[in-house]
Amino acid sequence: MVMKAVKGVLLTCDAAVKQILLVMNEAQSFIIEDLDDFHLLIKQDEEDRIRRQLETELEKNTYSLD
Amino acid sequence: MSHLSLLLDLQPAAWHDPTQSLQFSTFLAHILVFLNAHLAQKHENSLAIFGAFPGKSIMLYSSIDQTKPADRRVQPDPNWYQPFKTLDAALTERIREEMPQPSTSSEAEELPVALVGALAKALCCKIIQATKVEAPSDTPVVMPESRILIVSVSPDAAASYIPLMNSIFSAQKLKVVIDVCKIYGPDTTFLQQAAYLTGGSYIRVEKHESLLQYLMMCFLQPPSVRSLLAVPTTDRVDFRAACFCHKDIIDAGYVCSVCLSSGSDCF
Amino acid sequence: MWRSAFAEPSMPKDPETAGQQDAPHTLIPFLQSQSQTALTRLYTRPSSCLAIFRLLGPIERQIVMSLLWLEGPIASQTLNGWVTKEGRKPYGTALDTLSKIQILPNPGTRMLLNPNFKASFRMALTGGGDLNSFGVPYVSSKEKDAERDGAGDKKFGPNSEHLDSYALERWETILHYMVSSGTDSTPQRPSAGVLYLLQRSGLMQPLPSPSGYSTASSRKTSQLQISSLGFQFLLHTPHEQLWELLLQYLKMVEERQMDLVEVLNFLFMLSTMDLGREYSPDNLTQTQLVMLEDLRDYGLIWQRKSSSKRFSPTRLATTLTSSTPLLPSSGGGNTGPQGFIILETNYRLYAYTDNPLQIAVLNLFVHLKSRYPNLVVGSITRDSVRKALNNGIRADQIISYLVTHAHPQMRRNNPLLPVTVQDQIRLWELEKNRLKSADGYLYTNFAAQADYQVVLDYAKQIGVVLWENSVKRCFFASAEGHSNIRGFIERRSKDEQM
């Protein structure tokens, strides 16, 4: 049987978050494979960094009254 | 939590009859174990005991009214749960004080026992309890399930039909279940009706030596459990009423179209 | 994906009635896991039997009572006849519970209570025996003389108000320590034993220093921080909290080389004692004397001095087997079990309380703005909720806390909490979870569709597939399934070669 198994982390997200991730990927590559609109396969050791970076990115887009 | 009011029919004539198979002391021992079992069910369970004597009714014990300093005087016993001991000591003493001696006066004995008076007192206690609980806040509070167990040894007193019916109606309104445990004497029509109308059970104890088992299996569970573990109920209930004029139990009679009171021929 | 947040807001369940009737007491599963010999030993003491009996459900209690005064066994059909149609299922579970805790072994054929249990429980109801299982009252030599002289007992030890305030103070110290951990305030620390218990039960965890590595100094002071479990704990009623801690205590018993049966006996004995009375520790075993000290720290027992030759149980101890906690409300104010929180649609929150513990709990997820003698005003903001979420607190927990402690005025509203606020709290939680991740392997580049299908079917069978795409002929399976899948593929490849 011919096949391949790739170790990694499956990210499940919405379309908007995926676009942000794709932009982030251009600065520093971490995506192994773009699976579909809501799923990405990324390198295992990058997950924490991605989460932190995404958090700051999303915070830029929230506004509060005070 | 559940509240039990126990009404003891303490007719001296019936209890001091030496021909009966159940002695009063044995009876009292069984009742005390039953009451302890009720208190054992839950920490919050409460209890009130009323005695119906010839011509008078007395509250013998109440677990709600703990203000009496007398309770404290009971010496603690390391081998017995304190509330049980308090109850047993207090109840035995009160009954000894109040129980008239059979030989003292023959007049008093001829009076019928004031069962209805005791029943009315039990219902009043329930109302007082309800108002006490509701007073502090405007939110509805879960009321304790309440029931009344009547241990009866004397026959129907026809004169008490109307006050008894009134008590039954107020019990219905208060959602109090009335159970009847008949030990001696003929079946009483009125108490059968009381049990039937309030959803309780009327049970005649055939074997007096196993009174405790009857009490445990039929009268211990609060009404909420009875929908799951059935209790025998009487299917033959004598629905005859007492007439308004002579207080006789009648099969057929006249009914006043205004007040619905029933009467016999002379009505 | 987050459309679900707009689904109809869950109807607030009445916190008083929900679950309390049906769920068995937390101690029952623990008893079920004990050995038969331990349980039999436990059942030799009347006070333990009485306490365990009270922890059982109503149907179980009725079954026990029906069988208690029978001498011989009865056929199970006899009792089955009493069960109504609706009662079948609860009756079955009740029998199961009773047989698991060895009170009613083999209920299938003939019903006979455990002989030890039967004898002791009868003794509990009728009195007698000489096991002193309900505690030996303390009688000082002076009192003994006084009794002989016929004088009344004047000295009654601490009165119940004093015991209540002591128990409350102890208990709130523990809760207050938990809730203000991780904040700047430094509340009074409970004793080392309590701290160890909190850590062991997972309610608190060692504080990770913000830089990610623990410095020597932080390890030395062993800073503890409340965990997600701990917050859930704070939302429970005091009675549930107490049992949760005691259960943890029981689980630690064996490590400490203590005899579990003696520990349980002592707890049950306390639960049947009389509030406001002093007892003598003379009849206690060595294990129980150690416990005396532990339970003093938790506020279950009061002693004048640690060396004192007498002790009094507090209300925390005497109401152990009751379902409603009778501990008077905290902070002196009569807020009690009644709610004190008013929440408006504009996210403002008014809490009518002056209790530092309640304020500290609110501070976990509310941005508090001003404080008056009996009122705290704050608002629920995105930041305050996010702070709570980052601490591992869930949106549902916040909402259920608000529901449980809603002011009686709020109870007229239907739904109880403003829907906007409820939904927004849930949305803030979803916002935090926009990215889900799972470790595993992507299986790809299958040469033949048949191979792909067979491997995929196998992976689905063991339930590890997280994502699949048949067009691209690849699927993603979680890491746990990898060794199985690899083994499966190797076996198939070998078969093909042969």
| Sequence spans of domains, chain B | 2-236, 240-267
ipTM over 0.95: no
Give me the percent of chain C exceeding a pLDDT of 70.
83
The beta-carbon neighbor of B229 closest among C69, C87, C130 is C87
The CA distance from C364 to the nearest CA of chain A, in Å, is 19
Tokens of C134: 């309900």
User: Is C495 part of the contact surface with chain A (CB cutoff 8 Å)?
Assistant: no
Q: Is the dihedral of CA C145, C147, C151, C155 positive or negative?
A: positive
- Cβ of C66 within 8 Å of Cβ of B216? The answer is yes
pLDDT one-digit tens code per residue, C175-196: 888 877 766 666 677 788 888 8
Query: Taking Cα atoms as reference points, which of B109, B15, B13 lies closest to residue B55?
Result: B109
Res B150: pLDDT: 92
The CA distance from A27 to the nearest CA of chain C, in Å, is 20
Average pLDDT over residues C416-430: 91
**C-alpha span between C312 and C278 (Å, rounded):** 5
**C-alpha span between C313 and C333 (Å, rounded):** 24
Tokens of B178: 């009335």
User: Is A60 part of the contact surface with chain C (CB cutoff 8 Å)?
Assistant: no
pLDDT one-digit tens code per residue, A2-52: 788 889 999 898 888 899 889 988 988 888 888 888 898 998 888 888 888
User: Is A17 part of the contact surface with chain C (CB cutoff 8 Å)?
Assistant: yes
The beta-carbon neighbor of A2 closest among C442, C447, C472 is C447
Cα C478 to Cα A30, C465, C483: the distances in Å are: 20, 7, 10
The CA distance from A5 to the nearest CA of chain C, in Å, is 4
CB contacts < 8 A (A, C): 93
The CA distance from B167 to the nearest CA of chain C, in Å, is 29
- Cβ of C455 within 8 Å of Cβ of A3? The answer is yes
With beta carbons less than 8 A apart as the criterion, state whether C370 and A50 touch: no
* Chains touching C by CB (3 or more pairs below 8 Å): A, B
The beta-carbon neighbor of A13 closest among C435, C451, C482 is C435
Res A65: pLDDT: 66
Name B250's bridge partners.
B241
Cα C353 to Cα C170, C339, C380: the distances in Å are: 20, 10, 17
The beta-carbon neighbor of C411 closest among B41, B82, B139 is B139
Confidence check: pLDDT of C350 > 90? yes
Average pLDDT over residues C441-456: 88
- What is the domain partition of chain C in residue ranges? 5-132, 160-318, 341-432, 440-497
- Cβ of A9 within 8 Å of Cβ of C438? The answer is yes
pLDDT one-digit tens code per residue, C121-157: 988 888 877 777 787 887 766 555 544 444 344 445 6
From first CA to last CA, the distance across chain C in angstroms is 48
**C-alpha span between C390 and C429 (Å, rounded):** 10
Phi, psi of C136 (to 5 degrees): -90, 120
> Which of the residue ranges C31-40, C182-191, C305-314, C315-324 would you say has the lowest mean pLDDT?
C182-191
* Chains touching A by CB (3 or more pairs below 8 Å): C
CB contacts < 8 A (B, C): 117
Amino acid at C117: F
Tokens 């320590």 map to which residue? Answer: C177
Average pLDDT over residues C349-369: 88
Res B81: pLDDT: 84
Interface A:B, ≥3 CB–CB pairs < 8 Å:
no
User: Is C50 part of the contact surface with chain B (CB cutoff 8 Å)?
Assistant: yes
Amino acid at B167: S
- Top CATH class of A8-60 equals alpha beta
Phi, psi of C424 (to 5 degrees): -65, -40
- What is the chain B residue with the closest CA to C138? B76
Query: Taking Cα atoms as reference points, which of C113, C137, C130 lies closest to residue C49?
Result: C113
**C-alpha span between C459 and C476 (Å, rounded):** 10
* Chains touching B by CB (3 or more pairs below 8 Å): C
User: Is C71 part of the contact surface with chain B (CB cutoff 8 Å)?
Assistant: no
* Interface mutation target, options C14, C53, C62, C132, chain B, most CBs of B under 10 Å: C62
Res C426: pLDDT: 92
With beta carbons less than 8 A apart as the criterion, state whether C111 and C104 touch: yes
Burial class (CB in 10 A: 0-12, 13-18, 19+), B216: buried
Average pLDDT, chain C: 79
Give SS3 for C419. helix
Res C379: pLDDT: 93
- B-chain CB neighbours of C127 within 8 Å are 77, 79-80, 84-85, 88
String of b and e for C303-325 (b: at least 16 CB within 10 Å)? beeeeeebbbbbbbbbbbbbbbb
Give SS3 for C348. strand
Res C355: pLDDT: 82
Check residue B219 and report its DSSP letter: I
Confidence check: pLDDT of C362 > 70? yes
- What is the domain partition of chain A in residue ranges? 8-60
- C-chain CB neighbours of A3 within 8 Å are 443-447, 451-452, 455, 489
pLDDT one digit per residue (tens) for chain B, 267 residues: 788 899 988 888 778 777 777 888 888 899 999 999 998 888 878 888 999 888 888 888 887 765 554 445 566 677 888 888 888 888 888 888 887 766 555 555 567 778 888 999 999 888 887 776 544 444 444 567 888 999 988 887 777 888 888 999 999 988 889 999 988 878 888 888 888 888 888 888 888 888 888 888 888 888 888 878 777 776 677 778 877 777 777 888 888 888 878 887 765
Band of residue C421 on the pLDDT scale cut at 50, 70, 90: very high
- DSSP letters, C318-335, are HTTTSSS--PPPTTSSTT
User: Is C135 part of the contact surface with chain B (CB cutoff 8 Å)?
Assistant: yes
Confidence check: pLDDT of C348 > 90? yes
Res C14: pLDDT: 36
User: Is B192 part of the contact surface with chain C (CB cutoff 8 Å)?
Assistant: no
| Superfamily covering domain B2-236 | von Willebrand factor, type A domain (3.40.50.410)
User: Is C466 part of the contact surface with chain A (CB cutoff 8 Å)?
Assistant: yes
Average pLDDT over residues C255-281: 85
- Top CATH class of C440-497 equals alpha beta
